A and B are shown apart, each in its own frame.
Chain A
Amino acid sequence: AIRMTQSPSSLSASTGDRVTITCRASQGISSYLAWYQQKPGKAPKLLIYAASTLQSGVPSRFSGSGSGTDFTLTISCLQSEDFATYYCQQYYSYPHTFGQGTKLEIK
């Protein structure tokens, strides 16, 4: 199975900051990568698929980049509603696998 490693595991930031979360795959996955946001007690929400395609309705302050093994999720100007846990997921091959998550907290 392909292993997905996110960094950092947790991150403290302030409203208005620019933050970047990294996801690394244990082998090349082309651009078959998605990013999700999850708030406590809620189901995850798709933010980005195909590494850099913004899902409909997702604010443009979210962006994704990368291909092969290294990927990033960037939030350009943090809003209060962005404090949540973020997961990457590869869907290049089965079993699909998630990263361990990055918890974004208010500083």
Chain B
Amino acid sequence: QVQLVESGGGVVQPGGSLRLSCAASGFTFSSYGMHWVRQAPGKGLEWVAFIRYDGSNKYYADSVKGRFTISRDNSKNTLYLQMNSLRAEDTAVYYCAKDWLGSVDYWGQGTLVTVSS
């Protein structure tokens, strides 16, 4: 069965950096695009970034463009999100998600990132 397990969340000061990882299993990781989606406490869903199956194209929300970088290592079945210049408004649960024809058919359990001094 498909499993997506995020890690790397935690508390970081404003201006700091954090790298999230997502270990994928149960499907052919190298054949699917992958997304990051976040949800601030008590708020709705916000799409963050997408990477194509082969890493050839990447797309970002305007709110994170230039600060966040999505990447993947198909040899390790792992998705990453490098987050720099973090702000209080980046505080959220970050979900790793598998693409299905543009939508998302599988989600991880999420990892909480808290940006606070």
Contact = CB atoms under 8 A, between A and B. Distances in A.
Contact of A100 (B44, B47, B50): B44
B103 interface: yes
Given A43-B108, A46-B103, A94 B50 contact: yes
Main secondary structure of the interface of B (DSSP, over half): strand
Contacts of A100: 44
B46 A98 contact: yes
Interface in A68-103: 87, 89, 91, 94-101
A46 B104 contact: yes
Interface size class of A (residues with CB under 8 A): 20 to 34
Interface string A24-38: 000000001010101
A98 B108 contact: no
A95 B60 contact: yes
Nearest to A101: B44
A55 interface: yes
A96 B59 CA distance: 9
Nearest to B98: A46
A95 B62 contact: yes
A49 interface: yes
Interface in A32-55: 32, 34, 36, 38, 43-46, 49-50, 55
A69 B90 CA distance: 30
B44 A94 contact: no
B104 A94 contact: no
A30 to B, nearest CB: 11
Contacts of A36: 45, 104
A45 B97 CA distance: 11
Interface of B: 35, 37, 44-47, 50, 59-62, 95, 100-105, 107-110
Given A96-B35, A98-B45, 10 more contacts: A36-B104, A43-B109, A44-B95, A46-B104, A49-B102, A55-B105, A89-B47, A98-B44, A98-B46, A100-B44
